[in-house]
Amino acid sequence: MIRNLILSAVVATGTLTGLTLTPTAADAHTPVEYHHRRFEVLVHSWHHGWQIHGTYHDRFDAEQAARHLRHEGFRVEIREF
């Protein structure tokens, strides 16, 4: 009987403590907004002017493509949208 009383007290205390530790609406973080950015790598050709070589969602990938094209001797620009 005492064992059941102690067990009930422990379960009730654990339940109440668990409810008080959950964050309220005021404690919750605001949602993070992700902006969808796009990077275009432009290559200059004497015959055709500026042309889009590729479109990338990551700046690192665009920089890597531009670095490769510059190494090949092209004039390159990166535009962010």
Dist CA 1 CA 50 (whole Å): 86
Dist CA 57 CA 61 (whole Å): 8
pLDDT at res. 34: 63
State the total domains in the chain. Answer: 1
Q: Which pTM value belongs to this model?
A: 0.56
b/e per residue, 27-55, with b = 16+ CB within 10 A?
eeeeeeeeeeeebebbbeeeeeeeeebee
Provide the residue range defining the domain that includes 65: 2-28+36-80
pLDDT at res. 36: 82
pLDDT at res. 46: 87
Q: How far is CA 9 from the centre of its chain?
A: 45
pLDDT tens string 11-67: 666 565 655 555 555 566 666 666 789 999 999 988 899 999 999 999 999 999 999
